[in-house]
Chains A and B, each alone.
Chain A
Amino acid sequence: MPNDTRGKSESTGLTIDSFEKQLKRLETIVSQLETGGVPLHESLALFEEGMELLKQLQSILEMTETRIEELIDNGTTIPAPESIDLND
C-alpha cells in the first residue's frame, strides 16, 4: 500500500519537478522568437516545441489532487491522519 502511493506520487512528481525547467524553456523560446533572427523553419520548430510545452504545463496546472502523507521509517510514507487533511 505505501509502495503504491509512492510509485504513483513519483510518476506525477516527475512532471511537476520538470515544471520549472519547462517554464524556463518556454520563456526562452518565446523571447528567442520575439528577438527574431531565427530562420523560418527553425521558428516553426520552436513554435511547435513551445505549443507542446504549453500543453504539458497546462496539464500540470490542472492537477488538483493534494496528497497529505506522513513519513515514517526508512523513507516509507503512509496517508496522513484524516484530522490533518481538512478541506477548506
Chain B
Amino acid sequence: MTGSGGNSDIRSGDYEEQENNFWVTVSQITSSIKRCLEDGIRPLWIKGELSNVKFHRPSGHLYFSMKDESALLRCVMFKRNVFSLFFEPSDGEEVIAFGRITVYGRHGQYQLVAEELVPAGTKGIAAIELEKLKRKLVAEGLFAVERKKALPQFPRVVGVVTSSTGAAIRDIVRVSRRRWPGVRILLCSAQVQGEDAPGALVRAIERQNEANIAQILIVGRGGGAQEDLSAFNDEMVVRAIVASHIPIVSAVGHETDITLADLAADARAPTPSAAAELVVPDIKDVLAQVSVLENRITRVIRSRIALVKEQLSRYRSSHGLMRPRFGIQELSLRLDDISHRLRSAVANLCIDTRTRLSGKRERLESLDPRSILKRGYTMCTDAQSDTLIARVRQLEDDHTIHVRFYDGVRSCRTIPEENPNQPD
C-alpha cells in the first residue's frame, strides 16, 4: 500500500543530490518510512488487549501496548489526552483506541499515538457515546476556560449538592469546619446514582441558584473508579453546571475519574474533601495574614510618628521658630524698659508738680494779706458789706468798720472830723 510510493519518493524526492550514490542514509530512509506511514494511514479506531500499561508520572504521558493473537502495537497517549481519560486502563483489558500511526526514528519504531482510549464491549460503546457527547459539548464551547467563573475567596455560605446519606457531605463538613469554624454549609440533597440521579442533580443545582444563598457550590459524590459516575456525564447535568450563576467546584470520585461534570465545572477537585479545602480558606493562613498587616500598620505609624517628632524637635530649634521667640523676649524687655521709664516719668512728674506747687504756694502765701497783718498792718472792712476799705474817703462818719489785725478783729466807729484829711 505504501511501498511503491516510498520507492518513488526515494528516486524522485529529496534525494536527488545523492544521485551519484547507490545508497541512502538511515535518516533518509527513516524519514521516508515516516512519511509513508504517517501520510498513508489515516487516524483510525483500533481494537486490542492492553499490556505493559505504564503511566510516566514526570511527563504525564501514558505508555502501553495493544495486542491480539498474532501482533503487538506500541502505543503512547500524551498528557493532554491522558487528562481526559475517564477510566483507569489496566493490563489485560480489551480496549478500543483512536489515534494515528507515527514513526519514532530514533528507536526505529512505529507506534500508535492514541488520542482516545475506551474499554471495548458495551462499556466501550457507552464510552464512545460519551466521547461523542464530549466532542459536541467541546464544540459548543461549554468547557472553554473563558466560561470559568472565579471562586470567591471567602465564601460565607458553601452550598453542597450531593447525597445527604453519603460520605461526601460528612467529609465536606469535617474539612470545612476544621479550616474555617464560622462557615455555613447549605446542603441540597440529590441522588448521585441511578436512573433518577441526573434529574435530581439538575434540580438541586437549580434550587441552589434560585435560593441564591451560597456563594459557591460543591457538586459531587465520594467513591472510586468502581462507582457509577454516569450521572456526572449526563448532558443535562453538564448543562445545569454551565448554566449555574453560582461558581461550581466538582468533586466526583477519585483522581483518575474525570467526568463531563468535572470539565464543565469552574474548578475540579478529585474528592469532596479536596473540594472543601479548595473552597474554604484556612483560618490559620488568614489569621497570619491579618496579624502581618497589624504588625505592618503599627510599625509604619510608629515610625511615622517618630519621624514627625524628630521633625518637630528640629523645627523647635530652628531659626524660623526661634525668631518670634526672640521678638517676644525683646518686646518684653522693651516693655519692662518702657514701664520703668513710664514709672519714673510719672514719679518725676509728681515731684515736679510738687515743686511747682510749693513755689506757687510761696507766691500765694506772699500774696496772702494775712502775712502783711503779721507784720503789724491792719485791714479794714465795712461792717455791713464786708468790703475792703482801702481809702479814707470810703469812710463815712460814725460808721462801724471791722479792723482786722493779725490776731483778731475789732469793730470800731469813725469819729466825725471838722477837717477831714485831704490827700495832698
Contacts and interface: CB of A to CB of B under 8 A. Distances in A.
Given A40-B308, A69-B187, A86-B173, A16 B156 contact: yes
B21 interface: no
B181 A71 contact: no
A83 to B, nearest CB: 8
Interface string B278-308: 0000010011011001101100110010001
A57 B293 CA distance: 11
Nearest to A36: B304
A85 B293 contact: no
B297 A33 contact: yes
Given A9-B157, A47-B297, A81-B164, A63 B185 contact: no
A39 to B, nearest CB: 11
Contacts of A4: none
A63 B287 CA distance: 12
Nearest to B174: A88
Contacts of B241: none
A69 B287 CA distance: 26
B301 A63 contact: no
A44 B297 CA distance: 11
B287 A20 contact: no
The size class of the interface chain A forms with chain B is: 35 or more
A66 B183 contact: yes
Contact of B187 (A23, A63, A71): A71
Interface residues of B, number: 44
Contacts of B378: none
A66 B289 contact: no
B256 interface: no
B246 to A, nearest CB: 12
Given A69-B184, A88-B178, A51 B154 contact: no
Contact of B293 (A20, A30, A60, A80): A30
B89 to A, nearest CB: 36
Interface string A40-74: 10011001001100100110110111111111010
A7 to B, nearest CB: 12
Interface stretch (B29-37, B66-74, B204-212, B408-416): B204-212
A70 B184 CA distance: 11
Interface-central residue, B169, B170, B182, B304, by most chain A CB under 10 Å: B182
Interface string B347-361: 000000000000000
Contacts of B304: 33, 40, 43
B59 to A, nearest CB: 38
Interface in B310-347: none
B297 A30 contact: yes
Contact of A34 (B177, B289, B300): B300
A13 B184 contact: yes
A71 B213 contact: yes
B170 A61 contact: no
Interface string B160-203: 00001100011001101110011111111100000000000000
B211 A64 contact: no
Contact of A20 (B153, B169, B210): B153
Nearest to A27: B293
Contacts of B188: 70-71
B177 A88 contact: yes
Q: 4 tightest CB-CB pairs across the interface, nearest first?
A: A63-B182, A16-B156, A75-B211, A64-B181
Given A12-B182, A80-B187, A86-B174, 20 more contacts: A9-B157, A9-B184, A12-B156, A13-B156, A17-B154, A23-B289, A26-B293, A30-B300, A34-B300, A43-B301, A54-B293, A61-B283, A63-B182, A66-B173, A68-B187, A71-B208, A80-B164, A80-B185, A84-B164, A84-B169
